[in-house]
């Protein structure tokens, strides 16, 4: 047991002092899918003292290709990812305090658990949650590490409150549409690359080696052999509502959160995004035809899946027919629409 972290301690930027710091720190991982599970395993093996994992979903067969903490048994039994991750990680390192929380990453639920967190890792699948994470991180001055991947492409960016531009500075507003793993696919090397960068940045922050923290927005494509670092410091805005001098943390407000309503008597759930922007229905039709029969008119698009039907209006509203379960509807929404 005494030499468990010996190779890590031989690495000079960590050493014995850094290892002692790691054992005092708390990492919050939001999302236990591909990125979250890969990052969680590395963080636990490194000996971080406390790890909290938040995820609302359960293990499915399509996860096993890239989500390394899970096995066929969990997929067969549809075990919640947060629980499966907690049990697997506890077997890897019993010295780490690991807590898996099966819950939606909403403002109230996250705000109740961030107070003693030292760094947040992004393992989510949508920008609604990322902008909530960004505002919480700015409000409570917690560093967080953005990460995303789809196809063979990945990107990561480390956000230090008070120093770097935040996600709101860079993106201005929530994107209304992105490609997803369910529409464009994904290969595991892209996941591992993003997770490696995220974990490396987290370790730098946890051992307080601030000079080593990357200050650039990093993108790469492991299939096309492309790699690019973007300087973004000039993107920081004094009037940014999330991190500026008069920050109001807009994505913590109810009016800036995605709204979900169960439609009485219709076995359907309506989801309204933060912004009412016009969708490109032609683009959506191309993406969704891989999953079911698509019908389209100038006002809306309908996609008939195996068990559900999606109706997407041009203003961004989505009806998920075939369920009254809000969680089920949201999972489907984020998987197919980003």
CATH for 275: 3.30.310.10
Q: Give the pLDDT score at 173.
A: 61
Domain CATH code at residue 82: 3.40.50.720
Residue 82 forms part of a structural domain:
yes
Residues 102 and 243 grouped into a single domain: yes
| Dist. CA 37–CA 82, nearest whole Å | 9
The pLDDT of 285-308, averaged and rounded, is 85
pLDDT band at 286 (very low <50, low <70, confident <90, very high): confident
Residues 155 and 271 grouped into a single domain: no
Beta strands in the chain (DSSP E): 26-30, 50-55, 97-102, 119-122, 144-150, 153-159, 216-221, 226-231, 259-263, 268-272, 293-296, 300-304, 309-313, 318-321
Q: Give the pLDDT score at 275.
A: 64
pLDDT > 70? residue 332: yes
Burial readout 260-291 (b: 16 or more C-beta within 10 A, e: otherwise) = beeeeeeebbbbbbbeeeebebeebbebbeeb
Choose between 232 and 312: higher pLDDT. 232
pLDDT band at 220 (very low <50, low <70, confident <90, very high): very high
pLDDT > 70? residue 1: no
Choose between 146 and 175: higher pLDDT. 146
Backbone angles phi, psi at 189, to 5 degrees: -60, -35
For 153-185, the pLDDT digits (tens) are 999 999 999 999 999 999 876 565 556 776 778
* DSSP 8-state code for residue 210: G
Q: Give the pLDDT score at 267.
A: 85
Choose between 71 and 269: higher pLDDT. 71
Identify the domain boundary among 252, 273, 293: 252
161 to 51, 111, 240: CA distances (angstroms): 21, 17, 12
Residues 229 and 267 grouped into a single domain: no
Q: Which two tokens stand for residue 17?
A: 């002092």
Residue 1 forms part of a structural domain:
no
233 to 33, 119, 141, 142, 215: CA distances (angstroms): 30, 21, 18, 18, 8
The structural domain count of the chain equals 2
List for the chain the helix, strand, coil content (%; round to 5).
35, 25, 40
Identify the domain boundary among 218, 252, 286: 252
Backbone angles phi, psi at 293, to 5 degrees: -70, 130
Residues 236 and 264 grouped into a single domain: no
The pLDDT of 35-55, averaged and rounded, is 97
Question: CA 39, 333, 134 angle in degrees (round to 5)?
Answer: 45
Residue (of 2, 48, 30) closest to 125 by Cα position: 30
Range with lowest mean pLDDT among 76-80, 108-112, 191-195, 256-260: 256-260
Residue 290 forms part of a structural domain:
yes
Identify the domain boundary among 252, 276, 301: 252
- Average predicted confidence (pLDDT) for the chain: 90
Choose between 169 and 270: higher pLDDT. 169
Residue 160 forms part of a structural domain:
yes
pLDDT band at 259 (very low <50, low <70, confident <90, very high): confident
The pLDDT of 23-34, averaged and rounded, is 96
For 314-329, the pLDDT digits (tens) are 777 888 999 988 888 8
pLDDT band at 290 (very low <50, low <70, confident <90, very high): confident
Range with lowest mean pLDDT among 71-85, 231-245, 285-299: 285-299
Q: Which two tokens stand for residue 316?
A: 């961004």
Q: Give the pLDDT score at 281.
A: 82
Q: Give the pLDDT score at 263.
A: 73
**DSSP strand pairing (50-55 vs 309-313):** unpaired
Domain extent for 330: 258-337
Residues 102 and 218 grouped into a single domain: yes
| Dist. CA 51–CA 25, nearest whole Å | 9
pLDDT > 60? residue 244: yes
Choose between 190 and 254: higher pLDDT. 190
The pLDDT of 289-293, averaged and rounded, is 87
Query: Has 181 been annotated as catalytic?
Result: yes
Residues 148 and 282 grouped into a single domain: no
pLDDT band at 278 (very low <50, low <70, confident <90, very high): low
Q: Which of 169, 181, 243, 303 is catalytic?
A: 181
């Amino acid at each position: 047991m005494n030499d468990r972290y010996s190779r890590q301690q031989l690495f000079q930027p960590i050493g014995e002092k850094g290892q002692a710091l790691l054992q005092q720190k708390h990492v919050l991982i939001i999302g236990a899918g591909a990125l979250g599970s890969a990052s969680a395993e590395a963080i636990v093996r490194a000996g971080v003292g406390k790890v909290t994992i938040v995820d609302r979903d359960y293990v499915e067969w399509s996860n096993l290709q890239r989500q390394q903490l899970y096995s066929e048994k969990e997929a067969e039994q549809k075990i919640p990812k947060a629980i499966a991750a907690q049990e697997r990680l506890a077997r890897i390192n019993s010295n780490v305090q690991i807590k898996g929380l099966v819950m939606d990453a909403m403002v109230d639920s996250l705000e109740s658990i961030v107070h003693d967190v030292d760094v947040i890792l992004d393992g989510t699948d949508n920008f609604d949650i990322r902008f909530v994470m960004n505002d919480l991180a700015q409000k409570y001055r917690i560093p967080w590490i953005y990460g995303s991947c789809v196809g063979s492409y990945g990107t990561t960016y480390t956000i230090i409150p008070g120093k770097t531009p935040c996600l709101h500075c860079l993106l201005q507003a929530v994107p209304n549409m992105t490609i997803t793993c369910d529409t464009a696919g994904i290969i595991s090397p892209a996941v591992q690359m993003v997770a490696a960068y995220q974990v490396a940045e987290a370790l730098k922050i946890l051992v307080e080696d601030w000079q080593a923290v990357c200050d650039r927005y990093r993108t790469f494509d492991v299939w096309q052999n492309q790699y690019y670092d973007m300087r973004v410091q000039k993107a920081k805005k004094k009037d940014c509502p999330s991190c500026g001098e008069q920050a109001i943390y807009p994505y913590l407000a109810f009016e800036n959160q995605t709204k979900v309503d169960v439609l009485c008597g219709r076995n359907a759930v309506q989801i309204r995004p933060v912004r009412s922007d016009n969708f490109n229905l032609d683009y959506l039709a191309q993406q969704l035809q891989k999953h079911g029969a698509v019908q389209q008119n100038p006002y809306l698009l309908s996609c008939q899946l195996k068990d559900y039907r999606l109706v997407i209006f041009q203003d961004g509203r989505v009806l998920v027919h075939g369920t009254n379960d809000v969680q089920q509807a949201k999972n489907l929404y984020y998987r197919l629409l980003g």
